[in-house]
Amino acid sequence: MTSFEIREMTPPDVDAAVALALAQGWRDRRLFYNMVLRLPSCQPLVGTLDGRVVATGLGVVSRPVGWIGAIVVAVDQRRRGFGRAMTEQICERLRVAGCATLSLEATDAGRPLYERLGFRLTTTYHQLQADHLDEPPVPPDRARVRMLTGADLPAVLELDRLATGEDRTAALEDLATAGGWVLLEDSPRPGLRGFLLPAERAYGAVIAPRPRDGIYLLDLHRYVIPAGAHVRAGVPHDHAAGWHELEARGWHETWRAPRMLLGPDVDWHPEMIWGQINSAMG
Q: Say whether pTM exceeds 0.85.
A: yes
Tens-digit pLDDT profile for residues 20-34? 999 988 889 999 999
Positive or negative, the CA dihedral 191, 177, 138, 129 is negative
Q: Kindly report the CA angle at 27 between 22 and 32, in degrees rounded to 5?
A: 110
Topology (CATH level 3) of domain 4-99: Aminopeptidase (3.40.630)
Positive or negative, the CA dihedral 136, 139, 144, 149 is negative
Residue ranges of the chain assigned to CATH 3.40.630.90: 127-275
| Residue 213 CA: distances (Å) to CA of 72, 115, 220 | 37, 37, 10
Side chain identity, residue 119: F
Tens-digit pLDDT profile for residues 169-212? 999 999 999 999 999 999 888 899 999 999 988 999 999 999 99
| Spatial strand order in the sheet of 192-198 | 143-147, 181-185, 192-198, 204-207, 273-275
Please state the φ and ψ torsions of residue 53, each to the nearest 5 degrees: -75, 115
| Distance (Å, whole) CA 70 – CA 276 | 15
Helices 14-22 and 30-38, axial angle in degrees (round to 10): 140
Task: Specify which residues 261 forms β-bridges with.
Answer: 103, 120
| Distance (Å, whole) CA 69 – CA 64 | 17
Given its phi and psi angles, is residue 194 left (phi above 0), alpha (psi -120 to 50 degrees) or beta?
left
Tens-digit pLDDT profile for residues 41-65? 999 999 999 999 999 999 999 999 9
Residue 267 pLDDT greater than 80, yes or no: yes
Can you give the pLDDT at residue 231?
97
Average pLDDT on 143-153 reads 97
CA-based diameter of the chain, in Å? 66
Using a pLDDT cut of 70, give the percent of the chain over it.
99
Topology (CATH level 3) of domain 127-275: Aminopeptidase (3.40.630)
| Side-chain-side CA neighbours of residue 82 (13 Å) | 27
Compute the mean pLDDT over every residue in the chain, rounded to the nearest whole number.
96
Residue ranges of the chain assigned to CATH 3.40.630.30: 4-99
Can you give the pLDDT at residue 2?
58
Residue 282 pLDDT greater than 80, yes or no: yes
| Distance (Å, whole) CA 119 – CA 90 | 14
